[in-house]
Amino acid sequence: MEGVDHLADERNKAEFNVDDMKIIWAGSRHAFDVSNRISRFVATDPVFEKSNRALMTRKELFKNTLKKSVYAWKIIKELRLSDEEGIKLRIFMDQPGFLDLHWGMFVPAIKGQGTEEQQQKWLSLANKMQIIGCYAQTELGHGSNVQGLETTATFDPKTDQFIMHSPTQTSSKWWPGGLGKVSTHAVVYARLITNGKDHGVHGFIVQLRSLDDHSPLPGITIGDIGMKFGNGAYNSMDNGFLMFNQFRIPRDQMLMRLSKVTREGKYIASDVPRQLVYGTMVSVRQTIVSKASDALARAVCIATRYSAVRRQFGSENGGIETQVIDYKTQQNRLFPLLASAYAFRFVGEWLKWLYTDVTQRLEASDFVTLPEAHACTAGLKSMTTSATSDGIEECRKLCGGHGYLWCSGLPELFAVYVPACTYEGDNVVLQLQVARFLMKTVSQLGSGKAPAGTTAYMGRAQHLLQCRSGVQKAEDWLNPSMVLEAFESRALRMAITCAKNLSKFENQEQGFSELLADLVEAAIAHCQLIVVSKFIAKIEGEIEGKGVKKQLKNLCYIYALHLLHKHLGDFLSTNSVTPEQASLASHQLRSLYSQVRPNAVALVDAFDYTDHYLGSVLGRYDGNVYPKLFEEALKDPLNDSVVPDGYHEYIRPLIKQNFPSAKL
């Protein structure tokens, strides 16, 4: 029935004020207002219609993305939207495109690595979108191993230019978003060579296409790398390839904030760490963590609303059947994902703070916290995107058969989201960076240098290596210090075991290679500890709103205890908990599920997503699922005619068995 709220009963059950929770989810009243206003604006503007994109050809989809992106930019300018509003507009537009790379990587790379002069020149063009840029780092042969990139930038002192060259096929740039068809410029990462000496990978601003007719400049071969996973989905983006044939750029287009090449060709390295050349990746990894909570929340919102609408079995005497959300198995799969969405939100907020702090320190030439910022952004990017990808797929299964329909919104969400496990650093490669950081921290224990920040717990190694969990009854698992201690001792003991095993090898790098799998597990345990500890810090802080804190506490303990359950092998093998304590945790988890159950629909309403953004018949706010599934089915082009195309060619001859005679 149109206009009826089929989920009204669910909403009436809520034991907290949803509007207050909306503010907590958004981060502040102001952030909520912006998000709410911009999402409704996008939802009602026909240019941002997106329901038809799965049926578009690649070319149609690409052109449609251009139209939306340019329209979004026009709105940003005409309505004088702030940066925050502009980013929200892009998010709710919900179609990957060149704007993401221009604003998300090209502009930040120039800001982070360009001199003031370079920033003035290039940012004034980029900020007005008079040039469009992308981030061209990855090559056909190397993505993870940035030091292995092959593109060269050789200084020619005669002309005061760099010669950009792709010496092999594998040195072709391959993957950069926006490169294939749109970008006029790129920040290109290449090996800097002066006087025959290789100084490693540096960034260069390179014009790729004519600003008059968009044709590639002589010496440049460029194109799109082809279709990617899924219909619609990430195919709106023109990920591209690029080869240079002795292509020349002026010397002042090397990004020279971190190191310089003089007119004479002298290379001057500054005294800042060389890793700052990777700074743009650190900044994007930080934003990816908050985006993980967004994507997971979308999937969970769809699966929760649909689980409340869907009924199977349990009818007695022809009465009403059971809502599938009432099955404990459904709760055991769904509620930890709901809790994870909130957990990633809060750790994302904290990571933003950490990133802002390290940026301010770097500006003051304080590099002390850089390794921790790198480890946290890398590890949390890895952990949250892996959990979110798996979570979206789980939500699809939670919706049964209908979850597999395109109009459930889940297949496309998965297809768009899953490359997050790869871009901005393969998730395993990133956890190995965390592992290196942990091994270094462990090796310094006892040296008088106290571990700080997220590794401060390692400073209590003596206690954490010996302690036994004090949990005696199920409710003890609602005690934050007991939960934290279990996660800390598990993480520390895993790291120390790795360090001990490493020390058995004469050659540390060989040992590291042998122990890669264990090291990744230890890194994940450390990252999970960070997320749990930041969630606990959140619920221990001031939280306004009727009943809100209670709900967040429930979600926090669900998050922690489901991790304990999932990684029980780690907790038991490190003696961080006993089998009896683990079974008390399962008991507590079931009780928490029962407490969350009446609040589940309201907890996903707090995300404040519009039906447009969700793009899901199953996740509709009003729960009016079945008539809308029919409507969607009838829109399919196969239903344009009752008798399909091909009937006379194939079906009729088959039924009548009158094929032209086959020859072998």
Please tell me the distance from the alpha carbon of residue 253 to that of residue 161, in angstroms, as a whole number.
Answer: 9
424 among known catalytic residues? yes
Sheet holding 173-174, edge to edge: 173-174, 240-244, 220-224
Does residue 125 contact residue 228 with C-beta atoms inside 8 Å?
no
Burial class (CB in 10 A: 0-12, 13-18, 19+), 125: middle
Catalytic residue among 10, 393, 412, 424: 424
| Other residues' Cβ atoms within 10 Å of the Cβ of residue 319 | 7
> For residues 26 and 76, which CB has a smaller minimum distance to ligand LIQOTWCQ in the complex?
76
Residue 155 interacts with ligand FAD (CB under 6 A)?
no
* Interaction residues for ligand FAD, span 216-235 (CB under 6 A): 234
Dihedral sign computed on CA atoms, order 588, 400, 21, 621: negative
Residue 350 interacts with ligand FAD (CB under 6 A)?
no
In the complex, least distance from residue 442 CB atom to ligand LIQOTWCQ, rounded to whole angstroms: 13
Contacts of 508 (CB under 8 A, 6+ apart): 502
Residue 239 interacts with ligand FAD (CB under 6 A)?
yes
In the complex, least distance from residue 173 CB atom to ligand FAD, rounded to whole angstroms: 7
What are residue 224's DSSP bridge partners?
240
> For residues 303 and 358, which CB has a smaller minimum distance to ligand LIQOTWCQ in the complex?
358
In the complex, least distance from residue 316 CB atom to ligand FAD, rounded to whole angstroms: 51
Residue 284 interacts with ligand LIQOTWCQ (CB under 6 A)?
yes
Residue 86 interacts with ligand LIQOTWCQ (CB under 6 A)?
yes
DSSP per position, 415-472: HHHGGGGTTTS-HHHHHHHHHHHHHHHHHTTTTT----GGGGGGGGHHHHHH------
Please tell me the distance from the alpha carbon of residue 60 to that of residue 376, in angstroms, as a whole number.
Answer: 40
**Residue 138 annotated as part of some ligand binding site:** yes
Residue 104 interacts with ligand FAD (CB under 6 A)?
no
Residue 350 interacts with ligand LIQOTWCQ (CB under 6 A)?
no
Find the binder of ligand FAD among 160, 349, 426, 514 (CB under 6 A). Answer: 426
510-526 burial: b if 16+ Cβ within 10 Å, else e:
ebbeebeebbbbbbbbb
| Other residues' Cβ atoms within 10 Å of the Cβ of residue 462 | 10
> For residues 69 and 599, which CB has a smaller minimum distance to ligand LIQOTWCQ in the complex?
69
Helix (H, G, I), strand (E, B) or coil at 242: strand
In the complex, least distance from residue 256 CB atom to ligand FAD, rounded to whole angstroms: 21
In the complex, least distance from residue 125 CB atom to ligand LIQOTWCQ, rounded to whole angstroms: 16
Residue 180 interacts with ligand FAD (CB under 6 A)?
no
Span between the terminal Cα atoms of the chain, in Å = 58
Residue 143 interacts with ligand FAD (CB under 6 A)?
yes
Contacts of 88 (CB under 8 A, 6+ apart): 34, 35, 38, 39
Up-side HSE of residue 284: CA atoms within 13 Å toward CB? 20
Please tell me the distance from the alpha carbon of residue 78 to that of residue 127, in angstroms, as a whole number.
Answer: 15
Residue 293 interacts with ligand LIQOTWCQ (CB under 6 A)?
no
Strands 152-156 and 185-194: parallel
| Region binding ligand FAD by CB under 6 A among candidate stretches 46-54, 171-179, 467-475, 640-648 | 171-179
| Other residues' Cβ atoms within 10 Å of the Cβ of residue 188 | 27
Residue 508 interacts with ligand LIQOTWCQ (CB under 6 A)?
no
* Interaction residues for ligand FAD, span 501-520 (CB under 6 A): 516
Structure tokens at 322: 């059971």
> For residues 339 and 519, which CB has a smaller minimum distance to ligand FAD in the complex?
519
Q: How far is CA 11 from the centre of its chain?
A: 30
Residue 234 interacts with ligand LIQOTWCQ (CB under 6 A)?
no
Residue 203 interacts with ligand FAD (CB under 6 A)?
no
Residues in the interface with ligand FAD (CB under 6 A) total 22
Residue 176 interacts with ligand FAD (CB under 6 A)?
yes
**Residue 3 annotated as part of some ligand binding site:** no
Residue 138 interacts with ligand LIQOTWCQ (CB under 6 A)?
yes
Find the binder of ligand LIQOTWCQ among 7, 38, 87, 303 (CB under 6 A). Answer: 87
Please tell me the distance from the alpha carbon of residue 172 to that of residue 153, in angstroms, as a whole number.
Answer: 14
> For residues 137 and 528, which CB has a smaller minimum distance to ligand LIQOTWCQ in the complex?
137
Please tell me the distance from the alpha carbon of residue 307 to that of residue 396, in angstroms, as a whole number.
Answer: 11
Please tell me the distance from the alpha carbon of residue 374 to that of residue 562, in angstroms, as a whole number.
Answer: 27
> For residues 466 and 507, which CB has a smaller minimum distance to ligand FAD in the complex?
507
Positions touching ligand LIQOTWCQ (CB under 6 A) are 72, 76, 86-87, 89-90, 99-101, 103-104, 135, 137-138, 143-147, 177, 275, 278, 281-282, 284, 287-288, 370-371, 374, 423-425, 429, 433, 436
Residue ranges of the binding site for FAD: 138, 177
Tell me which residues are annotated as active site.
424
Positions touching ligand FAD (CB under 6 A) are 101, 135-138, 142-144, 175-177, 234, 239, 419, 422-423, 425-426, 428-429, 432, 516
